[in-house]
Amino acid sequence: MDVDRNMKVPINQLKLMLPVVLVAVLAIFPIIGTPRVWLLYLFLFFVYLTMANMWNLLAGYSGLTFLGPGALIGLAGYTLVIVTWNDLPFYLGIIGGGIVAAAFAALIAVPTFRMRGIYFAIGTLVVPEALRYVFYLWKPVGGEMQGGGAGYMIKGIGGLSLTEFYWLALAIGIVSIFLMRIILRSKLGLGLAAIHDSDRAAASSGVDVFRLKLYAFVIAAFVTGAAGAIFYIYQGYIAPVSAFNIRWLMICLLATVIGGIGTEEGPIVGTIIVVFLHFLLARYGALSLLIQGAILVVIMLLVPEGIVGLVRRKTRNYQSLLQLATRR
Amino acid sequence: MTVEVLSGLYRPIIMGVLLGGLYALIALGLSIVFGVMKLINVAHGDLMIFGAYFAYALMTTWGIDPILSLTMGIPLWFGLGFAIQKYVMSRAFGISMEAPLIIAFGISLILQSLTQIIWSPYSRGLEASYALGGISLGITSVPKTYLLSFIAALVVMLVLREFLRRSYLGKAIVAASQDKRGAELVGINTGRVYAFAFAIAMATAAIAGVFFGLTFPFTPTSGVGFLIIAFGVIIIGGLGSMLGTFIGGIVLGLTQTLSGYFLGAAAQMLFVYLIVFVVLAVRPQGMFGR
C-alpha cells in the first residue's frame, strides 16, 4: 500500500512542482548575472504576455473584439505620471493605473456594449485615437514646457534598476496566467463561454450578458493597465503618440492569434514567438513590421486556430488513432 | 454683430463642405466593401496612402502629373483589390467572424511598413501646377486642392451611384449585399461579385489617395487616422448608400471646421472622433440608415 501511494504522489507533485520551479528559476535570473539583454526581453515577454492574456480573455472568451488596448495602457501610463509627479510612490502608480483603466473600461462599456460585433471593434478602435488628442491638449501636471506632444518623464523611479522592473513584470505575468485559470474555471468563465457561442441563447437561459461582459472587461482593463504602468516605469517616458498607439493592439493580436485565440496556452506560446521575433528583427526596423504583418496573415489563413489549436487537433487525432489501434 | 458672425462662419462652412468631399471620397470605397461584405477593411486607409505614394513615385521619377497617373493607378489598384479579395479575403470569410478583420489588419501592417521601406517615414506631398494657390469663392478664398477633391468626390459618387443602379454588375453587387443566398439562387456568382466590389473599392482608394496627397502632406502611417474618419463618414451616412456617404462626409467635414472655429484647431480632431463614437453608440445603423 505504501508503495502504491508513493507511486501516485510524485506525478501530482511533479505537475505542481514544475511551474513553481520554473517561476523560481525565472525569479533568480537577475541575481545570478543573466545578461541585461536577456532580462530586457524577458521583461517585455511578461508585460506583453499579460496584455495578450487579457486580450484573449476579451476577444477569445467574451466575444469582445476589443481594438483599443492602447487606450487602457496609455491611460495607465499617464496615471503613473500624475501619481509620481505628486511625489507618491511608483507602486501606487501601478495600482492607480489599473484602477483608472478599469474605471475607464466601465465607463466606455455602456456605450460600446450597445455596438454589436464589427461595430464594437471599430468603436473601440476610435477610443485610443480620441484619447491621444485629449492628451495633446490636457496637461495634468507640470508647466507649459512639459506634457502635450512633448510628453512626460516618469519621476521617482531613480532608485529602481532592471532587476526590480523584471520582478514586477514577472509578478504581473504570473498573476495574469493564474487569473485566466481562475476566471475560466469559475461561473463567470462558464457564462462567458455561453456568451461567446451565442449571446442571445445565453441571455435567454438566464445569463446576465451585460454584467458578465462588464466584469470581464473591467478585470482585463485593470490588469492591462497595471502591466502598461509597469512598462512605463521601465520606459521612464511617455508621450501621446507612443502611448495611444496601435502598436499595443498589434502585440496583443499577434501574440494571441499566433498562439491560438480562445486557448489558455495560446498567448504564452504566441508571446514567446512575438518577443523572439522582436529580438531577431530588432535591427531591421520597418522590415520587422512587414514580416509580423505577413505572419499574421499567413497564420490566420493557414492555421486560424493558432499553434496551440493545431497541436491540440493533431494530438487529438493521434490519440484517437491510438485508441482505435489499442482497442482493436 | 450677427453679420460679422455669419461672415466669419462663411469660411469654415465652405471649407467644411469641401473637406467633407475629400472625406467622402476616401469613404466611398470603404462603404462599398462594408455594405457588400460586412467587412471593415481596416487596410483601406493604408491602401489609399499607398496610392498616394504610387502617384508620388511616378511624379518624382518621370514627372507624370498626379491626376494623370491615375490612368495607371486605377487599373493597378483594381487588379490589386480583385486579387486580395479572390485569393485572401474570400478564404478568410470561411474561417470565422474575426478572421477577415485580423487579415485586413495584417495587410495594413504590411502596407505601412512597405511604404516606409520604399519611401522612408518622412512626410511627402503631391504637387500639380494647376492645384497651387487659392481660388475665390464668394467672400473667401479656398485652396484649389480642396475644390478639386470635392469635384472628384462628386464625380466618383455619381458614377458609382449610376453604376450600382444601371449596370448588370452594379445590380448584382447590390443584390449580393442585400441577400447573399437570394442572389446566389437567382444565379449570381457572389464570389466573383465580391471580388469586383473589392476591386472597385480599391480603385476609388487610388483616386482618393491622389486627391488626398494633393491636399495634405502624408506619411506611411497617415492611413489609420483617415480610416477612422472614413468609418465615421459611412456610419453617419448609413450603409450602402453612395449619396448618404457623400452627405456623411460633408457632415463630418463641417463638424471638423466648425469645432475648429469655435473651440480652436487643436480640439477639432478630438471632436470629430467624439462625434463618430457617439453616433456609433446611439445609431450604429447610421443617421440616414434604414
The total number of structural domains that make up chain A? 2
* Residue B78 forms part of a structural domain: yes
What is the DSSP annotation of A161-188?
-HHHHHHHHHHHHHHHHHHHHHHHTSHH
Q: How confident is the model over A226-245, as a mean pLDDT?
A: 88
pLDDT tier at B70 (50, 70, 90 boundaries)? Answer: confident
Residue B290: predicted pLDDT:
46
Residues of the domain holding A49 = 34-327
* Residue B144 forms part of a structural domain: yes
* Residue of A283, A289, A310 best to disrupt the B interface, most CBs of B under 10 A: A289
Q: How confident is the model over A226-253, as a mean pLDDT?
A: 88
Residue A223: predicted pLDDT:
94
Residues of the domain holding B91 = 20-221
Nearby residues of A102 by Cβ (< 8 Å), 6 or more positions away: A218, A219, A221, A222, A225
Contact, B42 vs A297, CB < 8 A? no
Highest mean pLDDT of the ranges A231-235, A300-304, B131-135: A231-235
pLDDT tier at B240 (50, 70, 90 boundaries)? Answer: low
Q: How confident is the model over A278-282, as a mean pLDDT?
A: 81
Residue B288: predicted pLDDT:
58
* Residue B40 forms part of a structural domain: yes
Round to whole Å and give the CA distance between A172 and A158. 21
Cβ–Cβ below 8 Å for A286 and B116 = yes
- Specify the 3-state DSSP secondary structure of B141: strand
Rounded to 5 degrees, what angle do the CA atoms A151, B263, A69 make?
A: 45
A17 lies in the same domain as A158: no
How far from each other are the two terminal CA atoms of chain A, in whole angstroms? 33
* Residues of chain B in Cβ contact (below 8 Å) with chain A: 38-40, 42, 88, 91-92, 95-99, 101-103, 105-110, 112-114, 116-117, 121, 224-225, 228, 231-232, 266-267, 269-270, 273-274, 276-278, 280-281, 284
- The one-letter amino acid at A19: P
Burial class (CB in 10 A: 0-12, 13-18, 19+), B57: middle
Residue A225: predicted pLDDT:
94
Q: How confident is the model over A261-274, as a mean pLDDT?
A: 89
A39 lies in the same domain as A16: no
Contact, A62 vs A214, CB < 8 A? no
Tell me which residue of A307, A265, A304, A199 sits closest to A191, measured CA to CA: A199
Residue A144: predicted pLDDT:
65
Q: Select the residue of A111, A287, A296 nearest B105 (Cβ to Cβ).
A: A296
Cβ–Cβ below 8 Å for A300 and B274 = no
Q: How confident is the model over B187-212, as a mean pLDDT?
A: 88
Q: Of B279 and A40, which is predicted with more confidence?
A: A40
Q: How confident is the model over B206-220, as a mean pLDDT?
A: 88
Residue B120: predicted pLDDT:
80
Chain A residues close to B286, C-beta within 8 Å: none
* Residue B249 forms part of a structural domain: no
Q: Of B81 and A283, which is predicted with more confidence?
A: B81
Chain A residues close to B277, C-beta within 8 Å: 111, 123, 126-127, 130
pLDDT per residue over A49-69, tens digit each?
999 999 999 988 888 888 889
Tell me which residue of B248, B243, B228 sits closest to B156, measured CA to CA: B243
Question: Does the pLDDT at position B176 exceed 50?
Answer: yes
Task: State pTM to two decimals.
Answer: 0.84
Residue B42: predicted pLDDT:
85
User: Distance from B277 to chain A by nearest Cα, in Å?
Assistant: 6
A113 lies in the same domain as A7: no
Rounded to 5 degrees, what angle do the CA atoms A220, A224, A226 make?
A: 120
Query: In this predicted structure, which of A104-113, A303-312, B151-160 has the lowest mean pLDDT?
Result: A303-312
Q: What is chain B's alpha carbon radius of gyration, rounded to the nearest angstrom?
A: 19
The total number of structural domains that make up chain B? 1
The x, y and z cell numbers of residue A168, run together, are 514586477
Question: How many Å separate Cα A41 from the centre of its chain?
Answer: 16
A112 lies in the same domain as A3: no
Round to whole Å and give the CA distance between B288 and B237. 6
Q: How confident is the model over A26-40, as a mean pLDDT?
A: 80
A242 lies in the same domain as A299: yes
Cβ–Cβ below 8 Å for B277 and A127 = yes
Chain A residue whose CA is closest to B115: A286
A7 lies in the same domain as A74: no
* Residue B263 forms part of a structural domain: no
Strands (E) in A158-287, as ranges, are 237-238
* Residue of B85, B273, B275, B283 best to disrupt the A interface, most CBs of A under 10 A: B273
Contact, A220 vs A55, CB < 8 A? yes
Q: How confident is the model over A183-208, as a mean pLDDT?
A: 85
pLDDT per residue over A112-161, tens digit each?
887 777 778 878 888 888 888 888 888 777 666 676 777 788 777 777 77
pLDDT per residue over B143-162, tens digit each?
888 888 888 888 988 898 88
The DSSP code for B124 is B
A122 lies in the same domain as A64: yes
Residue B100: predicted pLDDT:
85
CA-to-CA dists, residue B121 to B112, B125, B225, B287, angstroms: 10, 13, 16, 37
CATH number of the domain at A98, please. Answer: 1.10.3470
Question: Does the pLDDT at position B85 exceed 70?
Answer: yes
User: Distance from A116 to chain B by nearest Cα, in Å?
Assistant: 9
Mean residue pLDDT of chain A comes to 84
Residue A11: predicted pLDDT:
61
A3 lies in the same domain as A113: no
Question: Does the pLDDT at position A72 exceed 90?
Answer: yes
Query: In this predicted structure, which of A1-15, A119-133, B12-26 has the lowest mean pLDDT?
Result: A1-15
The x, y and z cell numbers of residue B259, run together, are 469645432
Round to whole Å and give the CA distance between A279 and A277. 5
Question: Does the pLDDT at position A106 exceed 60?
Answer: yes
Question: How many Å separate Cα B286 from the centre of its chain?
Answer: 17
Question: Does the pLDDT at position B1 exceed 60?
Answer: no
CB-side neighbour CA atoms (13 Å) of B170 = 12
A174 lies in the same domain as A232: yes
Q: What is the largest CA-CA distance in chain B?
A: 64
Determine phi and psi for B123, rounding to 5 degrees. -70, 135
* Residue B193 forms part of a structural domain: yes
pLDDT tier at A1 (50, 70, 90 boundaries)? Answer: very low
Burial class (CB in 10 A: 0-12, 13-18, 19+), B73: buried
pLDDT per residue over B244-289, tens digit each?
888 888 888 888 888 888 887 777 888 888 888 888 777 766 665 5
Contact, B149 vs B17, CB < 8 A? no
A-to-B residue pairs, Cβ atoms closer than 8 angstroms: 117
Tell me which residue of B48, B90, B42 sits closest to B70, measured CA to CA: B48
Q: How confident is the model over A88-117, as a mean pLDDT?
A: 87
Chain A residues close to B116, C-beta within 8 Å: 285-286, 289
Contact, B24 vs B246, CB < 8 A? yes
* ipTM at complex level: 0.80
* Residue B142 forms part of a structural domain: yes
3-state SS record for B199-239:
HHHHHHHHHHHHHHHHHCCECCCHHHHHHHHHHHHHHHHCC
Q: How confident is the model over A173-194, as a mean pLDDT?
A: 89
Residue B5: predicted pLDDT:
66
Question: How many Å separate Cα A322 from the centre of its chain?
Answer: 37
Contact, A81 vs A97, CB < 8 A? no
- Specify the 3-state DSSP secondary structure of A153: strand
Determine phi and psi for A152, rounding to 5 degrees. -125, 150
Task: Look at phi and psi of residue B187 and say left if phi exceeds 0, alpha if psi is from -120 to 50, else beta.
Answer: left
Round to whole Å and give the CA distance between B4 and B10. 10
Chain A residue whose CA is closest to B281: A111
Q: How confident is the model over A189-198, as a mean pLDDT?
A: 84
Q: Which residues pair with B141 in a beta bridge?
A: B136
pLDDT tier at A228 (50, 70, 90 boundaries)? Answer: very high
The x, y and z cell numbers of residue B199, run together, are 476591386
* Residue B205 forms part of a structural domain: yes
How far from each other are the two terminal CA atoms of chain B, in whole angstroms? 42
A108 lies in the same domain as A148: yes
Contact, B210 vs B24, CB < 8 A? no
Contact, B73 vs A282, CB < 8 A? no
A162 lies in the same domain as A123: yes
Q: Of A9 and B245, which is predicted with more confidence?
A: B245
A110 lies in the same domain as A132: yes
Chain A residues close to B103, C-beta within 8 Å: 296-297, 300-301
Strands (E) in chain A, as ranges, are 152-153, 237-238
Q: How confident is the model over B128-146, as a mean pLDDT?
A: 77
Residue A15: predicted pLDDT:
73
Query: In this predicted structure, which of A22-26, A209-213, B80-84 has the lowest mean pLDDT?
Result: A22-26
Rounded to 5 degrees, what angle do the CA atoms A219, A222, A228 make?
A: 140
Cα dihedral A72, A77, A79, A81 in deg (nearest 10): -170
Question: How many Å separate Cα A187 from the centre of its chain?
Answer: 22
User: Distance from B169 to chain A by nearest Cα, in Å?
Assistant: 27
